[in-house]
Structure 1
Amino acid sequence: MRVLLSTYGSRGDVEPLAGLAVHLRELGAEVRVCAPPDEDFARRLAGVGVTMVPVGRSARALTTAGSAPASLPERAAELIASQFEAVTAAAEGCDLVVSTGAMPAAAGARSVAESLGIPSVALTFQQLTLPSPHRRPLAYPGRPFPPEVTDNRELWELDARNIHELFGPALNLHRAAVGLAPVDSVRDHVFGDRPWLATDPVLDPWQETPGLDVVQTGAWIVPDVQPLPADLMAFLDAGTPPVYVGFGSMPMHGAADVAQVAIGTIRALGRRAVVARGWADLDLIDDGDDCFVVGEVNQQALFPRTAAVVHHGGAGTTTTATRAGTPQVVVPQLADQPYWAGRVADLGVGVAHDGPVPTAESLSAALRTALAPETRARATAVAGMVRPDGATVAARLLLDTVRDGRPPLRG
């Protein structure tokens, strides 16, 4: 059996697919992944022996270039076109397509699967894009919801219209070119009525919603066996556990100021620091021996060696820190990150920072709470509740569904 996994997004969109791919191969499937041509994505997939098909432009370049509201339809058209080009070729001979990532990219991949007559599954690594009466939808840049509309159901209807206005024309243009009928709701086309949710039910509990048969599998994680660099190990062994600071795929405008605040605050608390460069290019502020800077690093191995993790609140980083039992300070920047910050606070495993720009005062207060013994105890307890087998569950369910012809995969 051949399975194509397709995404366009950050490391947090690619890493879980590596986990799923490993378990699909263990069950005898041939797997390839369509993903942006960023070097770190290619290196990660190659490290687990998975073939990567590059799609479109570098996700890092697209993210760090900024995203003016007026450019969203144009960028969506570019993503959709790249999906039709790359996925069409990569899906040849496949029995299943799994699509995720940015909405227009997922819409393109689903349409390609439809045009080729291949069953497909849509998934998300956070539930905030799934319509639910229990919460508001996320607003797109330049598309705020009217302040007078407060009913969640009405807001989700507006969300569907906004998404279709942004992405529908480009999607339907490409669908027509391959003989497909137009869709009248891009969001419904992507998710159908049976979307998959690859998150942990303790960290991200799904509330039953009429009209959606959500398949929640647990988070998709592949053990990272890459050793920590020797010089980092020497740093860790030379003193007390440091505080990790990193913002993943977030550009973080004013990164030098953020590094200054973070390192200064950590030092003032008598702690050492490990600073992750990430897409913000964070760096050390001096040559003090109490700080260490890292690039790509095995977070699964590093986080258990730290006193606390200060991060942006991406789904993957939040899950990794939670599994490690390490207290967290989440400094959310955008999209789903405030949600993950709230979940960390609600579970008592860390602190949700108020706003995207930390100050010495705000970060100090947050770290004092995170570093308290009771937070560490709670983080340790919750770590034992997080299920480790989400990717295994998903792989078995996917292959069984295809083999048994269970309807409807697509929704």
Structure 2
Amino acid sequence: MKIVIVAVGSRGDVAPLTGLAVRLRAEGHDVAIATQQPFEKLVRGCGLEFRLIPGDMRAGLTSAGTGIKAAVDLAAAVAADIGAGILQATEGADVLLLQRMALAHGHLVAQARGIRAVPVELCPSLPTEEFVLPSMLGLSGSLGRWGNRALAGAELRLPTPFDGALKDFARSLGLRPAGLGAIRRRIISGTGPVLHGYSPALSPRPADWRRGAEVVGNWWPVAEPGWQPSPELTAFLAGGPPPVYVGFGSMVGERLPELVLRAVRRAGVRAVVQRGWAELSVDSDDVLTVDEVPHGWLFPRMAALVHHCGAGTTAAGVRAGKPVVGTPLLVDQPFWARTVLRAGVSPGWQPLRELTAEGLGDLISAAVTEPAYLHRAGALAARVRAEDGAGRTADLIRRFSECEGVRAA
């Protein structure tokens, strides 16, 4: 089959899908990844076909500011622009695998062409009685059995900033106009597969999900061929005890460099700070700021991890077997922060907008000095490493491709 994986977002949204794509290619499929230009090198470096979707989420994220409103405004702007690009980039496909931000447009394209469409999600995406579904609002936790379901149902019927662009795009394809909620309700009530690429050891499949909704295990990014750490990083790691990793993803406030420095000194640790899209930089003899370093290489060399709890970063940390201090901001980040806390591999978390040097320093200190966190993290890592998310996905796609139910509703 000709499979096109469609992904829009940050590196954490795109990189895990390279591992899935390589596995599908090994199974004999013709596979391409359709994404935006900043990830062309990533895709081609895996030996995969790259198809361009116009736009640059990195430029938008670094200029949009922080907070929920900025994220929603950016997502709405992206929704207005990517439809035509997805239509062109998926020409000739038999099956579309659709990541979260490309899901609605890709679903409409699949419907118009009469081809198969499979959502590939990095966090829970179907309503459940067990917990509050991760959303743009960054809600997490539980409102009880009925409250969780009621909130999910209400969100599916609320208008969104994306609806106008989606309805216009549906009309351009000769389809009945549909907003985001209508498309998601169609997927939720359908019979086709919805595949979730995270570990069931960390977040098990809810018992009340419909048939076809599966938690398959993580999809791991492909290691960049020939990558080597810089001499500065190698020397820093060799020059003292294992440091703590600090990374805040794509959206960072101006106050954080000084806050991070005070926190690591309060905890008495060294730190490696990932610059990221937001250009975070901390200067000190006991802190090294680095550019892009593969988490699969870096995290096993750390004492503990401080991060925003994005899905990909959380998965890499769990696989490395390291304690986690969460600093979530929005979308699915609070969900994963609560999840690692519940798993016993985190001493706690602070929302990014409420972060203090004292609070962060104390959490870091607990993570590196209390052996129970490291012990539980190691046990969880062993379970996660034993999973084969890409292999299970390939098997499910092979089986689902024989059923009419896999087609876009």
TM-score normalised over the length of structure 1: 0.87
- Tell me the equivalent position of 2:113: 116
Give the % identical residues.
34
The answer to whether the 8 A contact 2:326-2:350 is kept is no
Distance 1:107 1:294, change over 3 A: same
Query: Does the 8 Å contact 1:353/1:362 carry over to 2?
Result: no
Report the residue type matching 1:398 in the other structure.
I
Q: 2:376 aligns with which of 375, 378, 383?
A: 378
- The 1:362/1:73 distance shift into structure 2, 3 A limit, reads closer
Q: Which runs of 5+ in 1 are unaligned?
A: none
Is there any run of 5+ residues in structure 2 with no aligned partner, and where? none
Q: Deviation of residue 68 (structure 1)?
A: 8.8
Write the distance in 2 (CA, Å) between the matches of 1:332 and 1:140.
12
CA distances 1:105-133 after superposition (whole Å, capped 9, x unpaired):
31111111111121110121101x42112
Residues 121 and 52 from structure 1, CA distance in 2 versus in 1: closer, same or farther, beyond 3 angstroms?
same
- Aligned mates of 2:178, 2:195 — CA distance in 1: 21
Contact 1:33 1:52 in 2 (8 A): yes
Matched, 1:352 2:348: yes
Aligned to 1:275: 273
After superposition, residues 218-229 of structure 1 pair within 5 angstroms as 218-225=217-224, 226-229=227-230
Cα distance, 1:201 vs structure 2: 0.2
2:231 corresponds to 1:234: no
TM-score in terms of structure 2 length: 0.88
Matched, 1:28 2:28: yes
Aligned position for 2:264: 266
User: Contact 1:167–1:186 at 8 Å: present in 2 too?
Assistant: no
Aligned to 1:175: 170
Determine if the alignment matches structure 1 residue 85 to structure 2 residue 84: yes
Taking a change above 3 Å as real, the CA distance of residues 262 and 69 of structure 1, as seen in their structure-2 partners, is: closer
- Cα distance, 1:219 vs structure 2: 0.9
Contact 1:72 1:166 in 2 (8 A): no
* AA matched with 2:333: Q
Secondary structure of residue in 2 paired with 1:350: coil
C-alpha spacing 1:68/1:299, structure 2 compared with 1 (3 Å)? closer
1:208-357 counterparts in 2 under 5 A? 208-209=207-208, 211=210, 213-225=212-224, 226-249=227-250, 251-254=251-254, 257-286=255-284, 288=285, 290-356=286-352, 357=354
- What is the distance in 2 between the residues matched to 1:47 and 1:142? 33
Quick check: 302-311 or 367-376, which moved more?
Answer: 367-376
Task: Give 3-state SS (helix, strand or coil) of 1:219's partner.
Answer: coil
Q: Aligned equivalents of 2:264 and 2:393: distance in 1?
A: 40
Q: What do residues 248-284 of structure 1 show as CA deviations (whole Å, max 9, x unaligned)?
A: 22x1112xx3222222322333321111101221112
Q: Distance in 1 between matches of 2:288 and 2:244?
A: 10
Q: Distance in 1 between matches of 2:240 and 2:36?
A: 39
- Worse-superposed segment, 209-218 or 27-36: 209-218
The 1:92/1:221 distance shift into structure 2, 3 A limit, reads: same
**1:142 offset after TM fit, Å?**
12
Deviates more, 1:391-400 or 1:193-202: 391-400
Q: 3-state SS of the aligned residue for 2:100?
A: coil
Contact 1:107 1:190 (8 Å CA) reproduced: no
Highest relative contact order (Cα 8 Å, sep 6+), 1 or 2? 2
Q: CA deviation at 1:307?
A: 0.6
Give the aligned residue type for 1:23: R
- Relative to structure 1, the CA distance from residue 187 to residue 275 in structure 2 (aligned partners, 3 Å threshold; closer, same or farther) is same
Q: Residue 194 of structure 2 contacts residue 212 of structure 2 at CA under 8 Å; is this kept in 1?
A: yes
Matched-pair contact (CA < 8 Å) for 1:228–1:298: no
After superposing the two structures, state which structure 1 stretch, 297-306 or 87-96, moved more: 87-96
User: Aligned pair in 2 of structure 1 residues 200, 140: CA closer, same or farther (>3 Å)?
Assistant: closer
Aligned position for 1:17: 17
Which residue identity is paired with 1:323? R
Is 1:101 equivalent to 2:97 in the alignment? no
Alignment equivalent of 2:54, drawn from 37, 46, 56: 56
Shift of 1:191: 4.8
State the shift of 1:237 in Å: 1.5
* AA aligned opposite 2:277: W
Question: Deviation at 1:88?
Answer: 1.9
Alignment CA distance shift 1:190-1:43 (3 Å): farther
Distance 1:197 1:210 in 2: 12
What residue is the counterpart of 1:154 in the other structure? 150
Kindly indicate whether the alpha-carbon contact (under 8 Å) linking 2:104 and 2:183 is maintained by their aligned counterparts in 1: yes
Superposition deviation, residue 190 in structure 1: 4.9
